[in-house]
Amino acid sequence: MAEAVGAIWHERAEADLLNRLVIDAGMTWSDVAVLRACRRYRRQVGTAYTETYQDEALLAYPDVAEALVGLFRVRVDPRVDGSEAALQHARAALQTALSEIAQLDQDRILRRIAGTVEATVRSNVAVPVGAERGSEALAIKLDSREVPDSTAPVPYAEVFVHHPGMEGIHVRGGRVARGGVRASDRREDFREEVLNLMQAQMTKNAVIVPTGAKGGFVLRGPPADPDERAQATTAAYRRYIRALLDVTDDVEGDGTVPAANVRRRDGDDPYLVVAPDKGTAALSTEANAISHAYGFWLGDAFATGGSSGFDHKQLGVTARGAWVAIQRHFRELGVDVQHEPIRVAGIGDMGGDVFGNGMLQSSQIKLVAAFDHRDIFLDPEADPETSYAERQRLFAAARSSWQHYDRGRLGPGGGVWSRQAKSVAVSEEVRQLLGVDWPSATPPALIRAILQAPVDLLFLGGIGTFVKASHERHDQISDRANDAVRVDAADVRARVVGEGANLGVTQGARIEYARRGGRINTDAVDNAGGVDTSDREVNLKLAVDAAIADGELDPGERDELLAATTEPVVERVLADVGRQAAAISHERVTSAQDLSAHVELLERLEGHGESPAPAGRLDRELEMLPDQAELGIRADAGAGLTRPEIAVLMGYAKLDLRTALLDSSLPDDPALETLLTGYFPDAAVRAMPKAIAAHPLRRELIATRVTGDVVDCMGVTWVDRVVRQSGAPACHVVAAYWVARTLLDAPSAWEIVARHELSCDPLLTAELRALVTAALDQVARTELRFGVEAIGEVIERDRGAVDAIASAAGELGSQRLQRRSRRLDRLPPAVVDVHRRVNDALPFARVAEQLELVESRGLWQRWQRQGLVGELQQARRAVAERVLTEHPDRDAPEAVAAFLDARPEARARLERLVARVEAADEVDLDAVAVVVRALRDAFAG
């Protein structure tokens, strides 16, 4: 009793009803703390029973309470006999006590706590608390698959952290996993928040080595004063990090060192990496100091960022990655956002990393509306140059909010208002911007109007979920703070949505918005730059520390080398985001014709196919992917998957393929070594080649890079289709692809296509991509038939033959161009130049875009669309030849201009037809056919 009172006095234990067990059952205060932690965890899992009701059940049956603690200690307390006999005895004692329960609710409560104890695999209950090691918080590590009533997504493992002043959770999608740790304000359901973030992180992490993880903690009695709250958050973070490290193994040499004073009921588990997130952006140095105090093998690679890491805000890498994805959206719409003004509405403020950096990515941004948790900003007539300079000033300030915006730099009708205001006067300019007729509005109504504004870009850079699907209820979103301002996707009028922040739009809302013609990916794609940078930092530091330990690198060169690699790392990260966004675009173009292949892949990833992926890998309902009925409707309508759906499918396909490759010997093939060295900046490869060659995650790095290459270049279903058709395992298919890629020098071809795809006719670039993938597919299938056990040997065997074939093909292509040039009596460069100028001068690209937008219904319409694509290509060639024939003595610019000047009425009529098609609410295939034939008859006939 005295110890219990002392623990409560020193805030190591709580003062609540459960302390009666100290008297009723003779328990220690630490025994009661175990039950309290289990009860608190059960509440987070989602039990309908209140904490008081659960306490009453435990107090009503002190024998059960005592038996629960007894089983817990046998399972995870190394000071207690943990033999199988002791375990069976503890279980039998618990079952005997449970059999005496008379009331149904109490039986359910106590049996679920018992199931939670059985799911516990580690705890720091016996770890002594010292000045530098050991946490005052109790850590309970659980096998999430064994937790009663645990709903999807079910993580690989989780650690629940409990203390009178704070609580937290850390969940992982796999053994090697990483993700941010946030200071949450959702005390009642922080586990649900963290699980949802982990789910997004898992698909986001398809581009990096570890799978997704996420952590979060809450203050149980947060101080009102901001400075005191910040101090309390830092103290809670320290307790949380110590608790996690208490139950994490270490590494020494090539072996694993078990966590001290911990009984392990699971296997070796030494990989734990955390990253900054909401409320913890400045705490990475704290975490790395704790890592060093524990002697943890990752050192300052444990928490990315910090004093010796990459400063994400300074680099702006998350926002820059999101901007790469946004640029592609607009380029595909024919807009260059670096040189053409765009109207933007946003969520966030200039002091934030993502929003602040994001709104500085182009001087052409006209930020007309924004809001954060404090203020509403409106500048309907924003001047790009003036507003850009003011945003720069705010971003550079130590602390800023929209209230600090210089009112003299606002355009007519603009202003800044507190969200606490009773109402806001709405100017005429704001009414026109938002499309409303209110003289005034409440702040929530104004925010909803901003989210629905007809702007070019809606940029999400703040915390919260602001757009839901029409069929979703607010209480399903788990973000009660924004229920009053959240809007339906059906009402979002922005042309493009960019997700710099996590969970700003529900997946159902993304799909609904995309099906209405909006341009959107997912948060996992748009803001992958941050997680990619963090992972590269960890992997770089692992190599650096190994090089120092082996004498390959001088310790004094460490920080200098890390600094020298910063910008090259960012360049690689932005390239990763660009490739992923491009891959989604390419998949979207053919999604209707590839729908059956997408369905087969979906079913296999769910476990319905002949070679199922691990159980639970893909939950179609959880990920909002279409069910069989919906897929049938889309097939009949000639529609495919949307960009958000493709993004999710691509993420899971990459995770699945990477797993298959890691289970094979392919990552050990010397021919793939260039993927490992290419992952690291050149300066790092030169400084420590041995450490990189022996990197502890060497196989994972190679498997991840080759997976990304094949899926991004060949499509999400290609490996699956070849596996199904050939019967070969995925590792052999990928090996055959790598042989074909090398023999055909595919990277050079992809580079040429990528360089021109956003500035050329989409039909032309689609043709080029199809040619490259068809060649790779043919060579890879041929190599697969002959065997690809050793990639390097196969390449050397077949290089001569392929070079000879390629030379003949090149000569054939050149001969065709020469024949055409001779027939027209023009040099080849002139023929090519006229083709390009004709394409730019007449609306070929606009008509091609309309054909892409057609949702053909049924087989005949699909054939009609394909036929029109061919007609459009033929018309372009015919017009170019007619220009050359009619004006043989003029250079390309003059010839094209003279040809078009002779046909003003035809050009005007064609422009009217194209404009009418573009203005229609829904693209009509017959209308596009009229345009194609009018173009052909007027200019090519």
Query: Within its chain, how far is the Cα of 157 from the centroid?
Result: 21
β-pair partners for 213: 172
Average pLDDT estimate for 733-761: 85
Domain ranges of the chain: 1-118, 124-308, 334-518, 542-817, 825-940
Average pLDDT estimate for 500-509: 94
Average pLDDT estimate for 169-180: 89
Query: Quick check: 304 and 538 in contact, CB under 8 A?
Result: yes
β-pair partners for 365: 342
Residue carrying structure tokens 């072996």: 255
pLDDT for residue 811 is more than 90: no
State the chain's mean pLDDT as an integer: 89
- Residues annotated as part of the active site: 214
Query: Within its chain, how far is the Cα of 824 from the centroid?
Result: 52
Average pLDDT estimate for 139-152: 91
pLDDT for residue 682 is more than 70: yes
Span between the terminal Cα atoms of the chain, in Å: 100
Whole-number Å distance between alpha carbons of 87 and 75? 7
Query: Quick check: 27 and 70 in contact, CB under 8 A?
Result: no
pLDDT for residue 468 is more than 60: yes
| CATH T-level fold of 334-518 | Rossmann fold (3.40.50)
Whole-number Å distance between alpha carbons of 382 and 341? 11
**Nearest to 934, CA basis, from 901, 911, 902:** 911
Whole-number Å distance between alpha carbons of 353 and 312? 8
- CATH architecture label of 124-308: 3-Layer(aba) Sandwich (3.40)
Average pLDDT estimate for 364-387: 97
| pLDDT reported for residue 888 | 83
* Torsion from C-alpha of 676, 678, 684, 689, nearest 10 degrees: 50
pLDDT for residue 863 is more than 90: no
> Looking at residue 18, what DSSP letter applies?
G
For 316, the token pair is 């702006």
Percent of the chain with pLDDT over 70: 91
- Domain 124-308 and domain 334-518, same fold? Reply is yes
At a CB cut-off of 8 Å and minimum separation 6, what does 13 contact?
A: 4, 7, 19, 29, 32, 33, 164
At a CB cut-off of 8 Å and minimum separation 6, what does 895 contact?
A: 834, 883, 884, 886, 887
Query: Quick check: 761 and 709 in contact, CB under 8 A?
Result: no
Whole-number Å distance between alpha carbons of 37 and 161? 8
| pLDDT reported for residue 861 | 63
Q: Which residues of 461-490 are buried (b: 16+ CB within 10 A; e: fewer)?
A: bbbbbbbbbeebeeeebebeebeebbbbbb
Give the C-alpha distances (Å, rounded to integers) separating 164 from 102, 412, 528: 32, 53, 35
Going across the sheet that includes 342-347, the strands are: 415-418, 375-378, 365-371, 342-347, 457-460, 496-499
Q: Where are the alpha helices (DSSP H) in 163-225?
A: 190-204
At a CB cut-off of 8 Å and minimum separation 6, what does 214 contact?
A: 170, 171, 179, 180, 181, 182, 194, 195, 197, 198, 201
Q: Which residue has the higher pLDDT, 207 or 693?
A: 693
Average pLDDT estimate for 896-912: 88
| pLDDT reported for residue 813 | 46
Q: pLDDT band at 207, cuts 50/70/90?
A: low
Q: Where are the alpha helices (DSSP H) in 825-924?
A: 828-841, 844-853, 859-886, 892-901, 904-919
Whole-number Å distance between alpha carbons of 346 and 359? 9
- Tell how strand 457-460 and strand 496-499 pair up: parallel
**Nearest to 582, CA basis, from 339, 766, 458:** 766
Q: Is 628 exposed, middle or buried (0-12, 13-18, 19+ CB in 10 A)?
A: exposed
Full-model pTM: 0.78
Q: At CA 752, angle to CA 751 and CA 755, rounded to 5?
A: 80
Average pLDDT estimate for 318-342: 95
Give the C-alpha distances (Å, rounded to integers) separating 679 from 565, 664, 673, 847: 12, 21, 10, 41
| Identity of the amino acid at 7 | A
Q: Give yes or no for a cis peptide into 153 (omega within 30° of 0).
A: yes
| pLDDT reported for residue 921 | 77
| pLDDT reported for residue 305 | 77
Query: Quick check: 247 and 122 in contact, CB under 8 A?
Result: yes
Average pLDDT estimate for 851-859: 63
* Dihedral angle sign, alpha carbons of residues 72, 77, 79, 82: positive
For 768, the token pair is 């080029």
Q: What is the pLDDT of residues 543-567, one digit of tens each?
A: 999 999 999 999 999 989 999 999 9
Q: Which residue has the higher pLDDT, 15 or 325?
A: 325
Q: Which residue has the higher pLDDT, 815 or 493?
A: 493
| Identity of the amino acid at 571 | E
Average pLDDT estimate for 115-124: 98
For 667, the token pair is 């990552």
Whole-number Å distance between alpha carbons of 383 and 37? 56
Give the C-alpha distances (Å, rounded to integers) separating 838 from 601, 813, 891: 41, 22, 13
| pLDDT reported for residue 312 | 84
Q: Where are the alpha helices (DSSP H) in 566-671?
A: 566-589, 595-606, 628-637, 643-662
Whole-number Å distance between alpha carbons of 116 and 42? 8
| pLDDT reported for residue 254 | 81
pLDDT for residue 341 is more than 70: yes
